[in-house]
Amino acid sequence: MLRDLPGRPQRRLLLLSLALLGLKTGQFAADLSAAARAQDALPAILPLAAAALPRCADDEAQMPDPSDLRFAEPYDAQGDAGDTENPEENSSAAAAAPPPQAPPATLPAHYEDPLQPHNFKLLAAIRAPRAAPRVHVAVLDGAVRADHPDLPPLVWIQPRLRAADGGCGGEDCCPRRPPQRPSGHATAVAGLIAAVRENGRGIAGLAEVGDLVSIAAPVEAADGDLRLAAALYCAIEYRGTDGQPLRVVNMSLGLQALHGTALRDALAAASRAGLLLVASAGNKGRDIARLPRWPASFNSDTAITVEARRYDGGLARKSNYGAGVDLGAPAPEPGEDTPLCTTALAGTAADPAACAGDYGEFDRTSAAAAVVSGAAARVWRDPRYAGCSAAQVRRILMAEGRYCRDSGRPGVAPVCMLDLGFLDESRSVEDCRK
């Protein structure tokens, strides 16, 4: 056939075409062979692929509810016996704690306070619902900042020292006047309790309070116990514009040196007056049953001493503990988890979503006590518990806690972490009419 083709160039062109066709045919055969081998291997590959890809039914393909947290069991305060200041610091459970995680970027629509994501873990850990009459709350501390844009109107009281029997000799023992110098510590405490909710600023406090009363109690002075006693008498005598007394007294402070019985007498008088006394346990990693701290070591059916916990229920590294501690609340330190964000002394923050400027981080037992004070005010706002006494509110808060840690002492109840989940339930924990 090639001989029949006219001319040598035509023959060369045909030969080249046939050669190229052979190459393509060979490649096609190779591809077909590879495909056949792949088809034979497919049954062995499919199970592996199925195992690697998650299968979700429609009802399973939902993101988990961020409020449905899973917590580890809290650990006992053992640690290194040689470390007398921080017995929890070297605990194996503390070393195994998960690294801090950023809070979710979004919150339910009703949160309009831009810094509230910083405290999302706190609200989730204690399952705090929204509440609806307000009670008066006092912060016994330094002076709360007068001009903070995220705090409600304040009442400032600067007590005068009293005689041993509590008398004033006819003077005004509790003058109301703005402070000369505000305290960052007191301002931080006040914010966790009562920062204005849903105002488009900063954070939301645990409760919407009636009067927020800042009563000066400079316990760092040489006669600090006498000054704290004077502040307690002012708290007992206080009446708001509505004629109602204080209900909650927060004392995120402590001292060990006492001059006689003046402070104990004042604490007993406040308890008899029906005030709920909330005190921080302290941050030395000590058993306060062995090394008393006041007012934390005061025992009464209207007094709550608070230790600091991580969000997973574990005892914070430096928190005091032991018999005499009644309740825990989340207030982790940096390195343990995300610290709380609250009101502070500094000027206006440039970034409204940063815990800076007018806001700052706060931790340890001072913050934990403030959380419990705010929680108590919130419980009293619930119509089911509005008629409760201080002793009844104390029982409710302690009975409904979770992540309980054995006190380690016979006959002493376990210490649990604050949990407000019962406020979202239809049941009543206690009938306060009894």
Active site residues: 141, 185, 366
Can you say how many angstroms the Cα of residue 296 is from the centroid of all Cα atoms in its chain? 20
Q: Determine the Cα–Cα distance for residues 83 and 103; give it in Å rounded to an integer.
A: 33
DSSP string of 295-354, one letter each residue: TTT---TTEEEEEEE-TTSPBPTT--BSTT--EEEE-PPTTTSPPEEEE-SS---SSTTS
Q: Which helix (H) or strand (E) holds 97?
A: none
Helix and strand tally (H, E) in the chain?
A: 8, 11
Cβ contacts of residue 223 below 8 Å, gap of 6+? 161, 259
Q: Determine the Cα–Cα distance for residues 305 and 310; give it in Å rounded to an integer.
A: 17
Q: How far is CA 249 from CA 136, 231, 245, 364, 374, in A?
A: 9, 10, 11, 18, 10
Q: Determine the Cα–Cα distance for residues 381 and 53; give it in Å rounded to an integer.
A: 50
Q: Determine the Cα–Cα distance for residues 77 and 57; give it in Å rounded to an integer.
A: 44
Q: Determine the Cα–Cα distance for residues 186 and 144; give it in Å rounded to an integer.
A: 5
Residues 136 and 207 sit within 8 Å (Cβ to Cβ):
no
Length of the chain measured in residues:
434
